[in-house]
């Protein structure tokens, strides 16, 4: 009727056949009651549920947490997917990869993930895989811009040692070449340590710059030579004062 249908104090069916039932609410549509479910035609499959505490489940059972409101999306085979669109275009997805793994993905091939606080963008992940902290256009795998701060990276451990290790496709082990600290002492560990001057680029192969000094695995130091035969080998002029 023009005044609507009121079902109270029990269970009621507004419409039940193979057609379509439309609720047209020009102002407000209010559903009142303990639990609301949305099922298939014969009620054998539940599609969605709103619990009495306001939690929503789609395809599963709503997770209930004290003092939280939840949205649960489930599929028994492949898990749930939450698509986020803008003007009909898929922008991002949240989804399950397995029973233990969770995925976040952009919807466009050239899309980026941008993590923001109220103060602005703090972390950027481009479609190339480059990660930027303090920059929205990272040029390398990890690009950190500390702004006016002079210390951009702090690496800390909870014991007396801390290390960062470096490896390429010819390194013999994961931790052969490391830079670290113990207490207030900086340490360099490598079979051979070389000091070079010059410039480098982010492409190409081979060594960059010109080698000026070397410490080999035996502890010999070479200046102007890469084959020091004694504790100190100098190839060139030396001025002792």
Q: Is 35 left (phi over 0), alpha (psi -120 to 50) or beta?
A: beta
Task: Please check the confidence at residue 15 and state whether its pLDDT lies above 60.
Answer: no
Q: Specify the pLDDT at position 156.
A: 95
Task: Please check the confidence at residue 36 and state whether its pLDDT lies above 50.
Answer: yes
Q: Specify the pLDDT at position 1.
A: 41
Q: If pLDDT is split at 50, 70 and 90, which confidence band does 159 have? A: very high
Q: What is the pLDDT of residues 84-134, one digit of tens each?
A: 999 999 999 999 999 999 999 999 999 999 999 999 999 999 999 999 999
Q: If pLDDT is split at 50, 70 and 90, which confidence band does 25 have? A: low
Q: Specify the pLDDT at position 208.
A: 80
Q: If pLDDT is split at 50, 70 and 90, which confidence band does 241 have? A: confident
Q: What is the pLDDT of residues 133-157, one digit of tens each?
A: 999 999 999 999 998 988 899 999 9
Least confidently predicted of 18-22, 69-73, 97-101, 195-199:
18-22
Q: If pLDDT is split at 50, 70 and 90, which confidence band does 19 have? A: low
Which of residues 39 and 83 earns the better pLDDT score? 83
């Amino acid at each position: 009727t023009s005044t609507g249908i009121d079902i109270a104090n029990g269970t009621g069916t507004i419409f039940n056949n193979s057609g379509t039932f439309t609720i047209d609410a020009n102002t407000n549509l209010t559903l009142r009651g303990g639990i609301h479910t949305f099922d298939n035609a014969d009620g054998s499959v539940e599609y969605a549920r709103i619990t009495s505490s306001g939690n929503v489940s789609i395809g599963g059972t709503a997770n209930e947490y004290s003092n939280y409101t939840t949205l649960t999306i489930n599929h028994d085979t492949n898990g749930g997917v939450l698509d986020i669109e803008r003007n009909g275009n898929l922008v991002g997805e949240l989804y399950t990869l397995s029973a233990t793994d969770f995925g976040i993905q952009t919807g466009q091939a050239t899309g980026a993930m941008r993590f923001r606080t109220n103060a602005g963008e703090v972390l950027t992940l481009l479609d190339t895989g480059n990660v930027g902290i303090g920059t929205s256009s990272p040029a390398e795998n990890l690009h950190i811009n500390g702004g006016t701060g002079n210390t951009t990276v702090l690496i800390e451990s909870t014991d007396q040692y801390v290390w960062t290790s470096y490896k390429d496709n010819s390194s013999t082990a994961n931790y052969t070449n490391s830079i670290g600290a113990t207490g207030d002492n900086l340490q360099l560990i490598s079979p051979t340590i070389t000091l070079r001057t010059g410039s480098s680029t982010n492409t190409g192969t081979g060594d960059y710059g010109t080698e000026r000094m070397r410490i080999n695995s035996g502890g010999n130091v070479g200046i102007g030579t890469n084959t020091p035969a004694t504790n100190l080998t100098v190839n060139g002029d030396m001025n002792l004062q």
